[in-house]
Chains A and B, each alone.
Chain A
Amino acid sequence: MSVSESSLQKASKYELLDPDVRLMLQVREGSAAAFEALVEKHQKRLVMVLEHLVSNRTQAEDLAQDVFLRVYRARERYVPTAKFSTWLYTITHNVASNSIRKSSRRKEINLVASPSGSMPVRPLDTMAKDKSNLMPTRLADQKEMERVIREAIQSLGPRQRMAMLLSKYEGMSYNEIAESMELTTQAVKSLLSRARGNLKETLAPYLNSGKSSRESDREDGGAS
């Protein structure tokens, strides 16, 4: 079978299976309504993923618009070779990576590159310090818990974070994440394993009792 035949089959498969691909093909034909439908459908989760990646809501919304703009600009060249969301998050990954890179240069923060790429990582020791300073003796309300979880996600390296967000909130398979992030499936497996491990370490004190590690330490000390 020739390559073009195989691509055609792939395109027709995704067209059949994915309603978003069908919408994007209508966008390619000049349908504004189809594009609007795609924006409406994906904006919520896209902004959420970007917010976790750049830690700023306004910036996340700006970046989401940038992602949609790129999708629109690429419409004429669009050929469905994957699910629409896979393609969308490939663009999202690139947009977010560029933004983080620019932002880190601007602030002239000298960060150690992560082993899996050039993107900066928030040092875990800084995070741990923040955590010990800000952690309440008891999680009084939901908002406090949310803050802790957000910080735990922020503590992950950008690649771990991206892989985790796509897995958790987009429900993507390892293959789809690999395609979106332009990595191997094995690399995605490792990233997710490390991401889960790190999250577990950071959130361990909150898993059962909702008590902070300091409080637990205090109780342990009292008991001994």
Chain B
Amino acid sequence: MNSNSEQPESQTGGIEFSDFDELTAYLDGELDETQTQAVENRLGSDSKYLAEMQSLQKTWDLLDTLPVQSPGGSFTKTTMELIVGDAVSTARNRRKRTVFLGRVAVIALLPIVFFATAYGVARRLQSDPDRRLIENLSAIENYSKYEVVDCDIDFLESIRSIDFFQKPTVIVENGNEIEVAYEDDSTGSIPMDYIQRAEYVRALDVEKKISLKGKFEAFEEKPEADRQRLAEFDLELQARENRQQLRSALTGFYEWFKELGLSERSGLQDLSHDERLVEIRSIRHRQAQNELGKKSLVNLPSKEDVPFLMGWCESIFQLKEGQLRDRFRIVLESSMRQKKIGSIPPSSVFLKKSRVENLNLIIGFLLREDRQFVEDLIFEGEALFGLYDILSLNARKQLDSRSEAEQRSRILDWVDAVNQSQQGTSTEDLKKFEMQLGSKVRDRLQKMSSEKYRETLEWMYEESRKSQISSQSWWEQQIEKTLDPNQFPSK
């Protein structure tokens, strides 16, 4: 064989040239489904063919051992200078040709001079802010949050330990494991690589660019030392293994902090970190109690209508159970994707969860995340007529005096309230139960996070109903256990 030809020098016995083409295309993923199947069938039955494929693949893999070296550090700079120089000299040459063409060249030179200026001069002056923006993008986007925790990572860790500020978006059962995914903020999607980050900024829509510009200007106005502190905190946060949880807690805390009154905010800022944590817990507890009060004010129809309403809801939801579970799976999965949660479990996990999840929890989730779907489901067909048939005259009058949209909204509120009442103990009952507890026990409860408080109170309520416990000292002992995170009172 001619050594200069572009054919392999020799082939393995039994393997034709066409086989090489076929195997190469197979390894490169260039065959269609039928061809791929044919190759795979032959691989299963022809050992020489299989050996040839493996040998080709090994050779190809061997090429990965070659390192890829970067060009010298000045490559970009010299390339850009070359381009600017070339642009100017091209324009000059044009100018020499004729006076007329020279004039044209001057005009042609203008954008080039503009380009040269943009690169040569503005790179040092105007593009420096661009660089600073891209380099400090994450700090710029989040500096107001960082300031709320005084750029103190330990303080942020303490904030994270307050359950309320961490926002577990969804809890998913994955096999035998429970995965808790935390809601991340926009920072999670800011790329680390400089060029990708530059591209990320360019791809932002106008509204976000304007917002970023505002933040950047405010950031630039800060003293150098503050800017550096913010940037260092950003890096420190980024380096933490639990950064997703920390960012989630930071976002939750920041949103909560913004909603506080001016005096509460300034009062908090004046305290030391330890005192501030105590005060934050105290404010949160007051808020939680208020929330309990608000929930009990949900407008329900008169007592005589409630059992009928509950029966109606139950029958509707049983009838629509399949649709509710299917929708839950879709909304849950898309909600996780939209919120850019780190690891999205496979669809099979969502499917399993949708099958086993408590139906009341599913309805509660859909009422929060896709209220329109629940509304459409309830009001489709003759369901609403069914409701009218069972309501008292008084309740019907209440509905009749409203517009159709208001009627639907009111009925959905009822559905929500009925569904909540099916999920667990009513807040009204819990509040009454709490008031019966001794002051020491109540004091212990009030030191807990709002979630822990509710969870413990519900557990105590159920226990007291089951066993008629009234000993305050027994409750005190049990609550002591709840303060130890490793020892929840036995159920």
Contact = CB atoms under 8 A, between A and B. Distances in A.
Contacts, number: 166
A37 interface: yes
A30 B118 contact: yes
Interface stretch (A2-10, A87-95, A195-203, A213-221): A195-203
A68 B41 CA distance: 46
A43 B76 contact: yes
Pick the most buried of B21, B59, B67: most chain A CB atoms within 10 A of its CB.
B59
B24 A65 contact: no
A150 interface: yes
B7 interface: yes
B195 A40 contact: yes
Contact of A197 (B11, B70, B76): B11
Interface stretch (B77-85, B155-163, B303-311, B345-353): B77-85
B438 to A, nearest CB: 65
B79 A124 contact: no
A39 B73 CA distance: 12
B30 A189 contact: yes
Contact of B199 (A23, A44, A112, A168): A23
The main secondary structure of chain B at its interface with chain A is: helix
A146 B67 contact: yes
Given A30-B115, A32-B115, A200-B55, A48 B69 contact: yes
A167 interface: yes
A193 B21 contact: yes
A138 interface: no
A24 B441 CA distance: 68
B10 A41 contact: no
A20 to B, nearest CB: 9
A160 B7 CA distance: 10
Contact of B24 (A114, A115, A192, A207): A192
A223 B421 CA distance: 86
A125 B446 CA distance: 87
Contacts of B28: 167, 174, 192
Nearest to B130: A33
Nearest to A47: B71
Interface in A57-94: 61, 64-65, 68-69, 72-73
A22 interface: yes
A30 B111 contact: yes
Interface in B72-124: 72, 75-76, 78-80, 82-83, 86-87, 111, 114-115, 118-119, 122-123
Interface of A: 19, 22-23, 26, 30-37, 39-41, 43-45, 47-48, 61, 64-65, 68-69, 72-73, 111-112, 114-116, 121, 123-125, 142, 145-146, 149-150, 153, 157, 159-160, 167-169, 173-174, 189-201, 203-204, 206-207
18 contacts: A43-B70, A43-B71, A47-B71, A48-B68, A61-B72, A115-B5, A168-B63, A174-B25, A189-B25, A190-B6, A192-B24, A192-B28, A193-B25, A194-B8, A198-B6, A198-B9, A201-B10, A207-B58
